[in-house]
Chains A and B, each alone.
Chain A
């Protein structure tokens, strides 16, 4: 860890903590601008995984031997770490899942299956990732509930003037993203949660793009559910979580059945553990949870306010530099954006641009970003996206501009 003082982080030096950043791609130094898809992992996380497998690996919650105690302790300590990180009152409000998608499916299927009836309204927004859209479509189809959507304005923000007419008493849950993965819009979460609560609706926040990027406190946000993925915040793939307010989590019936989640089983029926264990059937991703806790420790040493400030500076700098290029169209708000920029260039289709950039070691993402309805809303088949994390630098952004300028010359 290369922290000089409590505030000042040497952002260039911390690149040394990420072994993969020394890789080359197609003979060029790697410029990794796809952290919104998945972040890279610091050595501290990679070491934590190795340490777990070398010294603690066993199954949790049932072995009576030393290693099982170590594994159980590491797993439950990780749960506590996540709870503290998110500002949850109690570790039992955290369910470990494979990630954001599974967390949202848990709520849609288990909570929705019990509480959603024909005619109820599920309120979403036009900017949701498919993972916060498709699970609700499936639920609506099964139950006869209706979906409603808060529109997105041309500047990439939500049309909050329409909210009053959409957020009515029929709405049982309002599920929305904290930060849009293709526009970078940061939504006013507390305000939205407060308004939902006023009409008796629950709220689910998709924290996939925010959990590793800015300070989050679920108590202050006032949300009922928050879903997130470990792999987008320096953690391993295949681990993530769901925060759910205790009294709500306790009211939700089991989701997956199997070992770990039961108290007693007869051939006819079973009694289930209390939350969160009731929702963690089968052997969980123990190493993943340990790695996630290490990722949180790493992020917290840098400090989320400092990370947010650094990421915002990168996004602002990239937006400004990109806008100097000819035929450039940038999507999303001009101020206050998350650590990503989505754009379209007249000179080339997003896929041609992405292929071109890749040959120069620059990893961008081209396509619909699991946001097909949003792309349709803006009348484009897809965009090119550059997404950043704290290990990126303004020098890398300058190099991106060079590469994109070369692409303009090549394709025009």
Chain B
């Protein structure tokens, strides 16, 4: 089997893409973000609930897309539950570095998310990996109500 394919589609990623965690509607979400990757047709609907301190209490998603976008969303929701705003933003930056920068050394805080590192060899797939993260970034910025983002800004 091809090494770069094995690196990109690690077993954890395939598992999360087949059985995404936190997949579903979040009934009492404070903010809902529709994320769209028009180049691929990937879509995500992300619901977020905040705790008293403004941290992420609960986060769920629905949508469809490639294995990379689905697994990335699934892994992200697991990782971000219970994190405060500053931790989320820091992790977003670290994750972006992980999937784009050949030389990036992943900080320990990323934990399981390092399975996504294979994406860095596939520049055309970075947007797939980042879609859910762009949605959560928008959720934090907006805080309440409905929002939408696109990986191809108009």
Residues of A within 8 A of B43 (CB): 381
**What is the size, in residues, of chain B's interface with A at 8 Å between Cβ atoms?**
21
Q: Which residues of A contact B38 (CB under 8 A)?
A: 372
User: In the complex, which of the residues A352, A367, A372, A381 contacts B68, with contact meaning CB atoms closer than 8 Å?
Assistant: A352
Contacts across chains A and B counted by CB atoms under 8 Å: 47
* Complex alpha-carbon distance, A382 and B125, angstroms: 15
**8 Å CB contacts to B: which residues of A83-131?**
none
B19 contacts partner chain A, Cβ-Cβ < 8 Å? no
Partner of A359, one of B4, B14, B39, B66: B4
> B64: nearest residue on chain A (CB-CB)?
A381
CB–CB A349/B2 < 8 A: no
| A356 contacts chain B at the CB level, 8 A cutoff | yes
Interface flags, B98-140, vs A, CB<8A=1, else 0: 0000000000000000000000001001001000000000000
Partner of A382, one of B1, B8, B40: B40
When distances are taken between beta carbons in the complex, the residues of chain A under 8 Å from B14 are: 411
Contact check: which of A26, A348, A359, A381 meets B41 at CB < 8 Å?
A381
Q: Does A190 contact B (CB under 8 A)?
A: no
Q: How far is the CB of A409 from chain B (nearest CB, A)?
A: 10
**Are B40 and A410 neighbours in the complex by a CB distance under 8 Å?**
no
Query: Is residue A274 within 8 Å, beta carbon to beta carbon, of the partner chain?
Result: no
- Chain B residues whose CB sits within 8 angstroms of the CB of A411 once the complex forms: 9, 14, 67
Is A349 in contact with B4, judged by CB distance below 8 angstroms?
Answer: no
Chain A interface size, as a band, is 10 to 19
Is A46 located at the chain interface by the 8 A CB criterion?
Answer: no
A348-B67, A349-B67, A352-B66 given; A410·B5 CB < 8 A: yes
In the complex with contacts A349-B66, A351-B66, A381-B64, A359-B40 CB distance below 8 A: no
17 A-B Cβ contacts within 8 A? Answer: A348-B67, A349-B65, A350-B66, A351-B66, A351-B125, A351-B128, A355-B122, A356-B5, A359-B2, A359-B4, A360-B2, A368-B41, A381-B43, A381-B64, A381-B65, A382-B40, A410-B1
Instruction: Given A352-B66, A352-B67, output 4 extra A-B contacts at Cβ < 8 Å.
Output: A349-B65, A349-B67, A359-B4, A368-B41
- Chain A interface (Cβ < 8 Å from any Cβ of B): 26, 348-352, 355-356, 359-360, 367-368, 372, 375, 380-382, 410-411
